[in-house]
Chain A
Amino acid sequence: AQSVTQPDIHITVSEGASLELRCNYSYGATPYLFWYVQSPGQGLQLLLKYFSGDTLVQGIKGFEAEFKRSQSSFNLRKPSVHWSDAAEYFCAVGGAYSGGADGLTFGKGTHLIIQP
């Protein structure tokens, strides 16, 4: 069965500092990987996705993520965070089988706090 681990429940970063959110996945075949962000009281917004090809993917809002097959990781990074980045971040894996019809498997999320 597929699974996603986000080892950090909370992360606090100063505004302007760099950010890395960790994500490890377990999947028996080629994983399709996603990062979503959820602001308080809001739905989930897709930040970026990895399907194949270049292992460093660029997303919206200045985020990027790197797929490392050898480490089963898909860590999210941003060089300089803004106060508006404070939110809940979810890593997710989808199955290549049947177009992901069985839905995404999410990690438990990382709550990002930005210090002024």
Chain B
Amino acid sequence: DTAVSQTPKYLVTQMGNDKSIKCEQNLGHDTMYWYKQDSKKFLKIMFSYNNKELIINETVPNRFSPKSPDKAHLNLHINSLELGDSAVYFCASSQGGWDSHSNQPQHFGDGTRLSIL
């Protein structure tokens, strides 16, 4: 069984559209994340989400918003897509809450390659 799954694997769309990427983890983890990997393979944290508390990387445009219907899911919504949004987006999860003082390793999904035309 896949631990962290993302859909779709590929997403091709036009500028200005609104799109969503879904993420589900079956590991029973408490914290979920979204990362962006640019064309140079650089990975950068976008969001961390735990028990309805959200930490946002200040560099992320407010066109990006995470939505968590339950503990096992953290979906990424993107409004008014721009060319610069083209990247691979990774979802990840880890055990433990924010007060656990133990940094458990993060498990990553296979990524969603977003291409903006």
Interfacial residues, chain A to chain B (CB-CB below 8 A): 32, 34, 36, 38, 42-46, 49, 51, 88, 90, 94-96, 98-106, 108-109, 111
Ranked nearest first, the 4 interchain pairs of A and B with the lowest CB-CB distance are: A103-B45, A32-B103, A100-B103, A43-B110
B117 within 8 A of A: no
Chain B contact residues, majority secondary structure: loop
List residues of B (78-117) whose CB comes within 8 Å of A's CBs.
90, 92, 94, 96-111
Provide the bound-state CA to CA distance between A101 and B41, in Å.
22
Interface size bucket, B side?
20 to 34
Cβ 8 A contact of B96, one of A38, A99, A106, A111: A99
Contacts of B67 in A (CB 8 A): none
Across the interface, do A42 and B110 meet the contact criterion of CB distance under 8 Å? yes
Contacts of A43 in B (CB 8 A): 4, 90, 108-111
Across the interface, do B43 and A106 meet the contact criterion of CB distance under 8 Å? yes
Contacts of A108 in B (CB 8 A): 40-42
Provide the bound-state CA to CA distance between A36 and B41, in Å.
13
Residue contacts A-B, CB under 8 angstroms, 12 given: A34-B106, A43-B4, A44-B43, A90-B43, A98-B98, A99-B103, A100-B103, A101-B31, A101-B48, A102-B48, A108-B42, A111-B41
Interfacial residues, chain B to chain A (CB-CB below 8 A): 4, 31, 33, 35, 40-45, 48, 50, 55, 57, 90, 92, 94, 96-111
Contacts of B57 in A (CB 8 A): 103
Provide the bound-state CA to CA distance between A96 and B108, in Å.
20
